[in-house]
Structure 1
Amino acid sequence: MIQKLSIIIPAYNEGKTIHLILDKLQKVNLPNGIEKEVIIVNDCSKDNTEEAIYNYMQQNPALNIQYFKQAVNMGKGAALHTGIQKATGEYLVIQDADLEYDPEEYNLLLKPILSGFADVVFGSRFMGGNPHRVSFFWHTIGNKFLTFLSNMFTNLNLTDMETCYKMFNTKVVQSLVLKEKRFGFEPEVTAKISRIPKIRIYEVGISYYGRTYEEGKKIGWKDGFRAIYCILKYGLFKS
């Protein structure tokens, strides 16, 4: 029986590099019986992202790409909401359009799910022996603080709540009512997943090739404060 992994890519002003991540996706070999469904949601980019995607689709018809464009710029979380609802695969993973995460490691995340142990798998940048770019000290401290604060309310023992790489049983994540339109998506989805009865959450170590702000990194200190607000909001009020 053929199954699908839906790969959700929110894209904003990634015209220069979107082809690189798609090239990587083409080369990924998933376990036998699992096909790739790539869902790109263009968050109303101001550059040539749309043109780059259309060109890639024409030149690489073998890669199953579903393309959607937001009418206005609404943020990463809103793009993810669209992609999640459009997914038709049995499994779903979130993939940023940049090159910070390696799609070859989908198989690491899939293993606990395909083995029947997990419903959700987080890819942690802070565990395991995989390569990690040495990045900003305070950015790392901020990530660990947000994870600690999130764990206090969810009663999970995650090491990296803010990771991009989250893989889900698709029906599980589609059952959630998600509200956060920007980077608050991460603490919100973590809080709401943690409250599902008998949910099985695993964590595996992954690589991380972080970008600097000069290279296009978009998250900033304001997003960190929003994450704290979301941890408190969805942890205390369970809305």
Structure 2
Amino acid sequence: RNQHKPNPPLEDIAPHIHRYWKQRKDDKAILRLLNEYHIDKTIYGLGLTRFRQIRESLGLYRTRSQHHNINSIRPALFRLRAQYPKAGAREIVSLLFHEENMSVSRNMVTEYFSVFEPELVKERRKNRLRRKRFWAAGVNDIWAVDQHDKWKYKFGLALHTGIDPFIGFTHWLKIWWTNSNPRLVLSYYLDEVEEQGYGPLVSQSDPGTENFGLANGHTLIRHFHDPSL
């Protein structure tokens, strides 16, 4: 039993806890991964209660434990708005978590918008159904990528897809437990480029943080092939 074994050294497991935390895994999932891949169970033991104590000692608190309100998140929102002026509720929740180490519910962000950014809310609603013209020069001019979250919260299925909209070709359609990990999203793109032997001139996605890796990777590849860009 775990109570008869010492806990693993904190310096051995802390990096893995931080990594899985940033992947938005819950406590049971993190503990399972630690015990499966990072802890020698013949020597050490770690249970859920002790794990939660260790997590909190590292400054990693869940949403309820952080006790945020619309006023406490306001300074962070000021900083984020300077760089992401058009980010919506879902993107702001992700940005707060990854860039400000704040765990906040989407409902709270929506409430913040209604109190402090009513004009932006009206602007988003006004432009939501605005008709626009899409243009692409030809095949592989653009690869458009996007994620679908409606199954994510109900069934635990996170969808991600990449298509060539000019011909309607689906380059990938992936289903996993997450679609918000920038490294994972980048891997979808790189795997397809490697398999096809080519990539697009332009990658198109929303400004969410999950797409930063893909955007940076695509830019690096384009600069490698054309340093004048």
Q: Which TM-score band (shorter chain)?
A: under 0.3
* Higher relative contact order, structure no. (Cα contacts within 8 Å, ≥ 6 residues apart): 1
- 1 or 2, which has the higher helix percentage? 2
The structure carrying a bigger strand percent of its residues is 1
Q: TM-score, normalised by structure 1?
A: 0.24
The structure number with the bigger radius of gyration is 2
